[in-house]
Amino acid sequence: MTPSPAGLVNLFSPEAVADPMGTYERLRARHGPVAPVLLADDLPAWLVLGYRENLEVARTATRFTRDSRVWNLAREGRVPAGSPLLPVTEWKPVVRFAEGGEHRRLRTAINESLARFNRRGLRRHVTRYAGELIDGFCAAGRADLVPRFVQHLPMLVLARLIGIPGHAAPGLARATQDLMVGARTAVASNEHIVACLRDVVADKRAAPAGDLASWLLAHPIGLSDPEVVQNLRVTLVIANETTVALIASTLRMMLTDPRFRASLAGGHMTLPDAVEQILWDEPPFRTLVGRWATADTELGGQKIKAGDMMLLGLAAGNADPAIRPDLAAPLLGNRSHLSFGGGAHECPGQDISRAIAEVGIDTLFLRLPDLDLAVPEDELGWNAAWVTRHLATLPVTFTPRRPEPAARPGPARPRPPLDGCPSRGPGPSAWPSASPRPASRVASLIRLLAPHLR
């Protein structure tokens, strides 16, 4: 580990980014369930490693708040202007930073609007977009699944749900990735997302449709247009990269882990079980810039000062030996992991992400049942940053198949330019509807995988 001036581990160091789990275990051994760490520009924070301690921080808003305006380092002017921490810490009037009555107001509008989605409709959209993406490479017999499939599917579905024109999805997917990894282009990418969502909200104000943007605008709680834009921005940024990471990790596990293959083929593990296992072992947010101490307090034997930043160590908490003495023991659908956070801010979109991952993977294996990894596992590339880490490549081979556009009724969607979000693009309400397909086909997946798994 790169030694820091104070002898503390810097989570931005190349070693910590390359080996997050090893880093967490070394910190746990040295400091216990709560460890002092350094971030960019050697700014100090507390990394919460214990499962119980993570829940305590997430669930006790009176001691640990989401309101980043109490951050002592920012108040003392110690955060440099170009700090990569700013995009995730700078307070904005959105659900992520709100507490108390204001948080309840925004969460009610978001929860009730998300609840209006028809779950079967969601699964149909996922099946449709997954099918379109697979048609783009299935005749070739080989493809890199990350750039051809995984990186596009969540944004296509999320764009449809939110009410964003489909042609804007690739540009938005790239922009949200920029924000999550704290790239130099993050500010421009953020502006692109906001400009796109402003157009969408203006369109939906004039002509409401059956989508999240329209439902938020119409919600009786009375959100203003800028509030809807900003809360949709938060939703999009959180939802896309995390769901990309979940799909990539689950696919990798299905293609490489012999224990998983054996369990799936033997009927001991279902696809939803596999997704949950990944949420335990490789949470899309390894750490979450989560809370700030409201007053001097104590946690895990450490003395925390008022205004200190608490990083929720979701991956470390999920692997805490206090709750998982044997990491290899199968969890078979247990959902009590920390991957969706906890307390009043717990992720409201978790079932949507599960549906995108499960139906997307199900569709892929139904169309290409003999998928095989094309390179040794240790040659797979990774996109790693201090909060997230997911595969950058997943090259596979398979028996070439014909595209199946006829299986999806309706006229072909026009192909507008890929980037941008013009105010009058071909909106989702104009898209052809997808053909209904069975909601869950895990049994057929197992049957189709079986010859390949022998």
Q: Which residues contact ligand HEM (rule: CB under 6 A)?
A: 58, 95-96, 107, 110, 234-235, 238-239, 242-243, 246, 284-285, 288, 290, 339-343, 345-349, 352-353
* Helix/strand/coil (H/E/C) assignment for every residue in 186-241: HHHHHHHHHHHHHHHHHHHHHCCCCCHHHHHHHCCCCCCHHHHHHHHHHHHHHHHH
Residue nearer to ligand HEM on the CB measure, 285 or 292: 285
For residues 424 and 165, what is the distance between their CA atoms, to the nearest angstrom?
A: 9
The first and second tokens of residue 36, run together, are 């002092």
For the CB of residue 149, give the shortest distance to ligand HEM in the complex, in Å.
16
Residue nearer to ligand HEM on the CB measure, 8 or 58: 58
Question: Closest residue (Cβ) to ligand HEM?
Answer: 349
Residue nearer to ligand HEM on the CB measure, 143 or 251: 251
In this structure, what are the phi and psi dihedrals at residue 255, rounded to the nearest 5 degrees?
-90, -15
For the CB of residue 296, give the shortest distance to ligand HEM in the complex, in Å.
23
For the CB of residue 412, give the shortest distance to ligand HEM in the complex, in Å.
27
Helix (H, G, I), strand (E, B) or coil at 303: strand
For the CB of residue 80, give the shortest distance to ligand HEM in the complex, in Å.
25
Strand order in the sheet with 142-144: 142-144, 395-397, 372-373
For the CB of residue 300, give the shortest distance to ligand HEM in the complex, in Å.
18
Residue nearer to ligand HEM on the CB measure, 8 or 311: 311
Residue nearer to ligand HEM on the CB measure, 300 or 369: 300
Output DSSP code: residue 185. Answer: T
Strands 44-48 and 309-313, bridge-based pairing:
parallel
For the CB of residue 379, give the shortest distance to ligand HEM in the complex, in Å.
26
Nearest to 55 by CA among 283, 317, 285, 243: 317
For residues 211 and 5, what is the distance between their CA atoms, to the nearest angstrom?
A: 51
For the CB of residue 239, give the shortest distance to ligand HEM in the complex, in Å.
3
For residues 339 and 314, what is the distance between their CA atoms, to the nearest angstrom?
A: 6
Q: Are 384 and 17 in contact (CB under 8 A)?
A: yes
Residue nearer to ligand HEM on the CB measure, 143 or 312: 312
Residue nearer to ligand HEM on the CB measure, 111 or 423: 111
User: Please, how many CA atoms are within 13 Å of residue 209, restricted to the half-sphere of its CB?
Assistant: 19
Q: Which amino acid is at 425?
A: G
